[in-house]
């Protein structure tokens, strides 16, 4: 047949135009389009060079910025795979990559969907505590691999956890926001330059306050994610940094004074005495008021009573263990928060309590 020009494979926004039956890289037979994100078109394919094995290909938009960002993510995925060649540590697997008609293409193992989609497909019904226990352990296993690779994921949430075809396996995905810890430490001494890291509801308090950016922020986000899988509700549902800190402190108390002292965004959220200042807008005058909240120096709510109370009573001991795990994953001082290995040893994952 006559050669088709590259243009007809790319739309005006740089997206790959999918046609059923396309063959990519001379071997991947495209069966369907699974979706489309900011960066890519996602295709379901069969690998004709490997017994028609099912794979997923992310076809990155033909655009310099997207390509550069995706190459950075790809290097991180290659690093993760190199430290886990057998694929036993629950990070999504990149099989290979190539370029086709100006599009960077990344070939992944096929997964069913992300956990936000999974819960909404269940009619918004949250998961059982036994599933949360299993998925939580898998998520921590993934974080231990990230740590071995010196990566802070920095955007952990149900959207970035994929569930397998077996509906049991979960894998951590989307390393587009992940950070090399060494680079973070080199830049501004590990202090966040902005509070806009990760996604609002899952953002650790030390990022909101401008204290530090390091492995513990992933433990915080993992806690928020697991809690949401069990309750079906976003745990800290703030619409701005100040509200987020308020909701976090209701359950976890304030930072130690010494941390508030070195917080980069201290003026926005704290009085000179280290007490949290809640920003309120007067409904009539629209004037912004800053209300000191010394009551938040220690928690005013509890995980067991206020967050998990509706979780099936039958599993009371398990629920108590989970509440205890959360209280630890949500220690305000990141240096006191348990690391991945310590979380994995928690009785929630190991005891036979019902």
Residue 245 CB contacts under 8 Å (≥ 6 apart), including other chains? 205, 208, 209, 238, 269, 276
R_g of the chain computed on alpha carbons:
22
The phi-psi region of residue 52 (left if phi > 0; otherwise alpha if psi is between -120 and 50; otherwise beta) is left
Q: Which residue, 304, 307, 252, is CA-closest to 276?
A: 252
Q: 122, 166 in Cβ contact below 8 A?
A: no
* Catalytic-labelled residue, pool 5, 52, 131, 155: 155
> Reduced to 3 states, what is the DSSP secondary structure of residue 29?
strand
Task: Output the CA torsion sign for 91, 338, 235, 308.
Answer: positive
Told to judge if 155 belongs to the known catalytic residues of this protein, a careful annotator would answer: yes
Q: What's the token pair of residue 12?
A: 């005006």
> Reduced to 3 states, what is the DSSP secondary structure of residue 7?
helix
Return d(Cα 56, Cα 45) in angstroms, integer. Answer: 6
Return d(Cα 338, Cα 176) in angstroms, integer. Answer: 25
Angle between helices 129-148 and 216-231 (to 10 degrees): 160
Return d(Cα 267, Cα 273) in angstroms, integer. Answer: 11
Return d(Cα 89, Cα 140) in angstroms, integer. Answer: 9
Return d(Cα 15, Cα 38) in angstroms, integer. Answer: 9
- The DSSP call for residue 16 is B
- Phi/psi of residue 162, each to 5°? -100, 140
Q: 253, 297 in Cβ contact below 8 A?
A: yes
Q: What's the token pair of residue 245?
A: 């800190």
Positions annotated as catalytic residues are 155
């Amino acid at each position: 047949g006559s050669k088709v020009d590259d243009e007809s494979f790319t739309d005006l926004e740089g997206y790959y135009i999918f046609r059923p039956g396309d063959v990519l890289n001379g071997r991947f037979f495209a069966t369907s389009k699974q979706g489309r994100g900011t960066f890519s078109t996602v295709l379901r394919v069969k690998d004709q060079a490997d017994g028609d094995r099912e794979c997923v290909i992310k076809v990155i938009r033909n655009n310099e910025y997207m390509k550069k960002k995706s190459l950075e993510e790809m290097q991180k995925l290659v690093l993760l795979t190199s430290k886990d060649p057998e694929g036993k540590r629950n990070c999504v697997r990149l099989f290979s990559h190539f370029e086709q008609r100006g599009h960077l293409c990344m070939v992944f193992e096929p997964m069913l969907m992300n956990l936000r989609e999974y819960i909404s497909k269940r009619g918004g019904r949250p998961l059982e505590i036994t599933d949360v226990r299993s998925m939580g352990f898998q998520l921590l296993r993934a974080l231990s691999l990230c740590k071995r690779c010196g990566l802070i994921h920095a955007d952990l949430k149900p959207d970035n956890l994929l569930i397998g075809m077996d509906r049991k396996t979960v894998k951590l995905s989307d390393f587009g926001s992940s950070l090399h810890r060494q680079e973070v430490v080199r830049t501004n001494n590990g202090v966040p330059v902005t509070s806009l890291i990760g996604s609002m509801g899952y953002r650790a308090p030390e990022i909101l306050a401008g204290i530090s950016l390091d492995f513990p922020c992933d433990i915080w986000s993992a806690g928020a994610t697991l809690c949401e899988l069990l309750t079906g509700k976003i745990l800290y549902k703030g619409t701005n940094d100040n509200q987020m800190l308020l909701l976090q402190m209701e359950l976890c108390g304030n930072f130690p004074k010494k941390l508030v002292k070195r917080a980069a965004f201290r003026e926005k959220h704290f009085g000179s005495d280290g007490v949290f200042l809640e920003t309120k807008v007067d409904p009539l005058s629209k004037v912004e008021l800053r209300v000191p909240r010394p009551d938040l120096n220690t928690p005013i709510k509890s995980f067991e009573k206020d967050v998990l109370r509706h979780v099936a009573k039958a599993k009371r001991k398990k629920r108590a263990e989970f509440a205890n795990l959360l209280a630890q994953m949500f220690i305000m001082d990141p240096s006191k928060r348990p690391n991945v290995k310590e979380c994995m040893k928690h009785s929630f994952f190991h005891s036979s309590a019902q």
